[in-house]
């Protein structure tokens, strides 16, 4: 019997920031809400069901308006896993959280936002990535 594989190439149209922070996810969401005047609200956990390895569970916060969307995602699974790398984006496993921003402008444009993120006490380090260059970018498409 022949098997077929489906190869799909996704284009990501959002800015992606990696954040290193030792704080809990709800504390980081609260800090971002205050600093950036957002309203990040906890969403149901993001589940990744891997066929042979089991499932991964990630916390997920969302701020969405008509023109702007912020998603704060924990990069490491909160559920126990047998995987060697239980990350949402294993390419950038050094980062504790991922912040995906769609249509950021003005005070929330990429360079200004990166500057504001690094100025926060709760964030030890922040970096911007091109999501299209990541090997596991399909994990970030929600």
Give the per-residue pLDDT at 134. Answer: 79
Which residues, including other chains, have CB under 8 Å from residue 41's CB and lie 6 or more apart?
61, 62, 63
Give the per-residue pLDDT at 112. Answer: 87
Give the per-residue pLDDT at 77. Answer: 87
pLDDT in tens, the chain (142 residues): 777 776 666 666 788 899 999 999 999 999 999 999 999 999 999 888 876 667 888 999 999 988 888 999 999 988 887 777 788 888 888 999 999 888 766 667 778 889 999 999 999 999 998 877 777 777 677 6
Q: Which two tokens stand for residue 73?
A: 């995602």
Helices 25-36 and 110-118 cross at an angle (nearest 10°) of 120
């Amino acid at each position: 019997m022949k098997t077929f594989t489906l190869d799909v190439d996704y284009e990501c149209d959002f800015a992606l920031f990696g954040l290193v922070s030792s704080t809990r996810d709800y504390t980081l969401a609260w800090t971002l809400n205050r600093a950036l005047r957002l309203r990040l609200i906890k969403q149901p956990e993001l589940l990744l069901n891997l066929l042979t390895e089991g499932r991964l569970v990630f916390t997920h916060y969302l701020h969405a308006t008509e023109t702007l969307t912020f998603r704060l995602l924990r990069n490491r699974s909160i559920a126990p896993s047998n995987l060697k790398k239980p990350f949402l984006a294993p390419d950038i496993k050094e980062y504790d959280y991922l912040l995906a921003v769609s249509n950021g402008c003005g005070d929330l444009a990429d360079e200004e936002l990166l500057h504001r993120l690094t100025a926060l006490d709760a964030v030890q380090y922040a970096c911007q990535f091109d999501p299209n260059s990541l090997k596991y970018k399909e994990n970030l498409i929600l």
